[in-house]
Chain A
Amino acid sequence: MAEPKVIIGLETHVQLNTKSKLFCGCPTIGLEKPNTRVCDVCLGLPGTKPRLNKAVLEKAIAVALALNCKINKLVPWNRKSYFYPDMCKNYQITQYDMPLAYDGYLMLDFEGKKKKIRIRRIHIEEDPAKLIHVGGDITKAEYVLVDYNRSGVPLIEIVTEPDIESPQEARAYLSKLVSILEHLGVYDITNYVLKSDANVNITGTERTEVKNISGIKAVVKALSYEVTRHKNMLRRGVKPMRETRHYNPKTGLTHALRTKETEEDYGYIVDPDLSWISISSELIKQIKASLPELPDERAKRFVKDYGLNQEQANALINDKALADFYEECVKEYGEPVTIAKWIVTELLKSFNYHGITLRESNVKVSEFLELFKLMDEKIITARMAKELVKAYVDTSKSPKTLVAEQGLRRISKTEELLGVVKKVIKENAEAVKDYKSGQEKALHFLVGQVMKETKGQAEPNKVREIIKKKLLKQL
């Protein structure tokens, strides 16, 4: 049987980094102390009325343009009604049938191919309060505390069409999305972890919605779990019901919250306290003209100006911090191709091993550049540098410190290397024979063995020279 097709759509909430909330003047930062960033409006006191923070609108339009969306010229605000303890008004102000933007796309470079993820819509809405479940998770908590600091914080919701075909593709989409938002300067990842609702099914099963998953990694885990669960159910002939599930980040599992017989009924009406947003062509033009360089353009520039290949450029621009890091290194040191190679192959490998990003690491431009200086000064070999990258990411100790602590240095003197070469030749008679019969590749192997014996400290060119001479009996 052919592998069933995975169908994923994501609804991602992002906090826009405006100074104040969506409908009042309360600040959006310094939310640590509960219920200190609140006012009559964001607490929904009877008689208060919301008033739009225009900065939110401009940032949201920038996102819509960056995601190639069409923009509605006249947008009402809607009340989405449901009773829940995190909502002080028991309705959320959002945009329903006429969202800010629709019909866009995000272009991915995924597994060497271009992949278009269509964006169905983008709308602006207010964040509810934060519920703090005490004594367990949502299903087991003893009681719940409410912190209204988040109430009224501006969010945009970005909804894709069901174009995503694997959890890995979902990761690529979210990474690219975050990179675009960061390039736009509208989103501060350290202040707000993006939250997604994931709709997933495989051919032959009903759609499951996993609600409120924080961050990117958790989305990939939740989706992987769901895909497996759906496949298992299909195999066992159980048809998964249309339902809403909750993801537990501690276990990596999802749990059923409720079955979805029909669409939830939120009784949307136009919010009569807010005038409709009127978006002029001039405003759109103005925002378009002031858009900063976006990831794809940046990648093009990396290829054109720095001579990188497309793959390297893509790897760098997928994380704005990493691309910035790269350009700072180049500015400081030059050698754009070499630096890119080291970042993309060595540094990223270490990050991926630990499942972290540059931002979560302690890697700094000046310390990272020490590697190149150590190589230039012929204190270390490239092979040693590779090991040092790993150790640097692992320990947060700078390459220079590591070299000093471990007494590392490059070995290039014949007398120091001769002993090891002799040992390797003795232990690898077969390779020696191959080399002598004209197979150049065998020489590489022998050099590699010496490098291994010296823990990478040997200078490979010197080793090659010594082996050649030794086998020609010149030594």
Chain B
Amino acid sequence: MNALDFIKKAKKGEINLEDFYSKLFKKLYDIDKKYECFITICEEEAFNQLKNLPNGRLYGLPVSVKDALCTKDVRTTAGSRILSDYKPPFDSTVVARIKAEGGVIIGKTCMDEFGFGGFSTNCAFKVPKNPHDIERSCGGSSGGAGCITAVLDEPHIAIGESTGGSISSPASFCGVCGLTPTYGRVSRYGLIDYANSLDKIGPMAKTVREIALMLNVIAGFDEKDQTTLNENVPNYEKIDNIKGFVIGVPKEYFDGVSDVIAEKVWDAIKKLEDKGCKIKELSLKMTKYALPAYYVTATSEASTNLAKFCGMRYGLELPLEGNFNEYFSKVRAQGFGEEAKRRIILGTYARMSGYRSKYYLQALKVRTLVINDFKKAFKTCDLLAAPTMPVLAPRFDELEKLSPIENYMMDVLTVAPNLAGIPMLSIPCGSIDGLPAGLHLMADHLQEQKLINAGVALHG
């Protein structure tokens, strides 16, 4: 049963939610044992929610939330040891909106520490395992979200978050759908920041229709987040025909992509053609500059965001010793993982005087060029289509051999649209030896509806 049917039935009283959740949580503990997708399972809180559940658009629906989103009185770690005991006193806007519509928060999903990674291997607590082969990664950083979405038979929608591809990557590797909305479409209030100018919260689900349902709930202006767009939210569940859509296929997005994946992606593109879309090959010349611009921008912002975790107000508490600098350093040395430290150092370097104009300011300029590149393409195209990830879900032992740069290169197909702040949707497009491949659809700013229409046409 999908989420939409489940909610209808629950509203009619055809589902005993108490029973449903009792069974669900038993199952979740078992799943978590095998796949390690949750940092925190919120059984007690979920039953508390059931006691007084608003009869809203998500009535009774299980929703998992990436652990970067603050949940009131529920441990929120962002995957970091430095926040291992942190319980926020408020709900993030997205969580508040879900709760207000009767959605039930079942748990906080595993992620790379602060979103720093593409394989969820940089989590301080657990590493989620790919449901299709537990020796492989779920992708990341919203790996736990991708994992539980794929593995759970019961109706469920996950909330993920993407900075440079953290929704698309796990969606592709786990074989589910993941929507990264336009930057500013969904409030970031209560999201523990990775890189504020890039962070986007979006839904992950088995079907695109479920994604549309969740986007209807979470999208829209929020006075608590000045970067949200004060634009009308359409009814994303109203699906239209895609006949006549022009689908651009950027050639740069097939460079270095494994042949088997390219083949599956082209199959999906042909299906779009069958449904009346026009296919147009084109070039996005700025794509190759997106990766360095992304890492400079993201780490510059991240290094300032993480400064507050120093043991003064936030972060671990250690015995007080030395002056404040020594104490802060000790807390940060013990609390942050290796990748967090690497990105803090990178980001701090990129914005130091003397390097600031060469790296940080230059990256801002490149970002504008990348945006213009996409804007130009969307003058003639409704959507762009490409592979989501260049490879199939990698094995953990393969990942260990990657250098940091090779690791960052895995984001090469997702960082450009993330840098441009355009919406994107990853949907499964077949599998190779049991491992799913992902089709990446991209649209112009605020054109989520086009993505959803095409996604429903292809995948439902």
Contacts and interface: CB of A to CB of B under 8 A. Distances in A.
Interface of A: 40, 43-52, 79, 81, 83-85, 88-91, 263, 265, 267-275
B200 interface: no
B351 A46 contact: no
Nearest to B188: A49
Contacts of A268: 351, 356
B423 to A, nearest CB: 19
B90 A272 contact: no
Given A83-B310, A90-B312, 18 more contacts: A40-B90, A45-B89, A46-B314, A47-B70, A47-B76, A47-B189, A49-B225, A83-B324, A89-B307, A89-B308, A267-B351, A267-B352, A268-B356, A269-B351, A272-B227, A273-B225, A273-B227, A275-B227
B318 to A, nearest CB: 15
Given A83-B328, A267-B352, A269-B351, A91 B307 contact: yes
Given A46-B86, A47-B92, A85-B312, A90 B226 contact: no
9 contacts: A45-B88, A46-B83, A47-B69, A48-B190, A52-B226, A83-B307, A88-B308, A90-B312, A273-B193
Interface string B206-233: 0000000000000000011111000000
Contact of B304 (A46, A48, A85, A269): A269
Interface in B348-362: 348, 351-353, 356, 360
Interface of B: 69-70, 76, 78, 83, 86, 88-90, 92, 188-193, 195-197, 223-227, 300-301, 303-304, 307-310, 312-314, 324-325, 328, 348, 351-353, 356, 360, 364
Contacts of B324: 83-85
Given A49-B189, A263-B353, A275-B227, A269 B89 contact: no
Contacts of A79: 304
A269 B70 contact: no
Q: Which 8 pairs show the lowest CB-CB distances between chains A and B?
A: A90-B307, A272-B197, A272-B196, A267-B351, A47-B190, A47-B70, A46-B192, A89-B308
Given A40-B89, A46-B86, A275-B226, A267 B314 contact: no
Contacts of B303: 81, 267
B356 A47 contact: no
Contacts of A46: 70, 76, 78, 83, 86, 88, 192-193, 308-309, 314
A51 B308 contact: no
Nearest to A262: B353
A152 to B, nearest CB: 14
Nearest to A83: B328
Contact of A43 (B86, B301, B313): B313
A70 to B, nearest CB: 23
A267 B299 CA distance: 12
Nearest to A41: B224
A88 B313 contact: yes
A323 B259 CA distance: 83
A8 B227 CA distance: 41
A271 B196 CA distance: 8
Nearest to A44: B308
B304 A267 contact: yes
Contacts of B78: 46
A121 to B, nearest CB: 18
Nearest to A263: B353
A53 to B, nearest CB: 11
Contacts of A90: 304, 307-308, 310, 312
Contacts of A45: 88-90, 314
